[in-house]
Amino acid sequence: MRSPLKHPWIEAAVARALRARLTSTPVRFFVRDTQGRGVHGYTVRQTGRRLLLEHGTPDIAAFDQAYYSRQFEPTPEAAAALRAIGRPLAALDLGANVGMFSVWLASTFPVARLTAVEPLPRNVAALRANLASALPELETEVLAAAASTADGELSFGGGDFTTGRIGGGDGGLVVAARDVFGLLDGVDLLKIDIEGAEWDLAADPRFAQLTVPVVMFEHHPHGAPGDPAQAAEDALVGAGYAVSRAEAHPDGTGVVWGVRPAVGGSG
């Protein structure tokens, strides 16, 4: 007999309650999340940072990634390399969405400068609001653009919030594009989560010349040259990185961390 706790409604309610406990106002969060609508501010209990979240949207899944399932946590090798840098980090967040990774990072490691790149207008507005609310003391820059291999414009579609991608579907937005390789000067941590566009970056000859100390590479099946997990590892190894895997899923998504050996060995 199936356990009552496995009923989808009950599982959803339990997950919502556990998520709500991450905030300083769990009852308010739970009720609003059940209703599934509205933009509200919450203080994250773990960090004391204040975030703006829109219930009933993938904002909540992004919040889960950062603070419940802790999917942004670096591998031990990557964490050691970040600490070994020995000063506040400069970070480049590609596919910043509404800012959950950026805020999590600055709440976990010392950060001096953060550049966040995100193309969707709705997400850009939420990203700016979250960085201003949670990180008022930090030097931040938001680039309303798609991460690409050249400056210009691109068609962006295939979904809203977290699922949109370059060239995805019909009726997409035309958005600005920024050459990622022109943004890397002085960057200590490069985070890549761009829904399949990572393969264009990895295929660019400049990727093999990366000198960024630490790279978080989230891979997706769309556009992958073969097995996505293996392709991500091969791209980083080909650029001279020691790789360690954080997670891999049957659908081809996952996260690989790359550390330049000189940094990893200095800790």
Q: Where are the beta strands (DSSP E) in the chain?
A: 39-43, 50-54, 89-94, 111-118, 139-144, 146-148, 152-157, 165-166, 173-179, 189-192, 214-219, 242-248, 254-259
Residues 79, 123 share a domain: yes
Residue 6 has pLDDT above 90, yes or no: no
- DSSP secondary structure string for all residues of 77-142: HHHHHHHHT-S-EEEEEET-TTSHHHHHHHHHS-EEEEEEEE--HHHHHHHHHHHHHH-TTSEEEE
Query: 3-class SS at 46?
Result: coil
Query: Using 50, 70 and 90 to split pLDDT, how confident is the model at 248?
Result: confident
* Tally of CB atoms within 10 A around 47: 17
Residues 199, 139 share a domain: yes
Residues 48, 99 share a domain: no
Residues 194, 211 share a domain: yes
Q: Rg of the chain over CA atoms, in angstroms?
A: 18
Residues 107, 40 share a domain: no
Mean pLDDT of the chain: 90
Residue range 178-232, pLDDT digits in tens:
999 999 999 999 999 999 999 999 999 999 999 999 999 999 999 999 999 999 9
Side-chain-facing half-sphere of 68: CA atoms under 13 Å = 16
Residue 257 has pLDDT above 50, yes or no: yes
Residues 77, 59 share a domain: no
pLDDT for res 1: 47
Distance of CA 179 to the CA centre of its chain: 18
Where in the sequence is the domain holding 54, given as residue range(s)? 4-64
- Residue owning tokens 């330049």: 260
C-alpha–C-alpha distance, residues 215 and 196, integer Å: 16
pLDDT for res 161: 44
Q: Which of 64, 83, 106 is the last residue of a domain?
A: 64
Q: How many domains does the chain have?
A: 2
Which residues touch 37 (CB under 8 Å, ≥6 apart)?
55, 56
Residue range 30-78, pLDDT digits in tens:
999 999 989 999 999 999 999 999 999 999 999 999 999 899 999 999 9
Phi, psi of 96 (to 5 degrees): -70, -20
Residue range 156-183, pLDDT digits in tens:
765 554 445 555 545 568 899 999 999 9
Residues 198, 114 share a domain: yes
Q: Which of 64, 95, 112 is the last residue of a domain?
A: 64
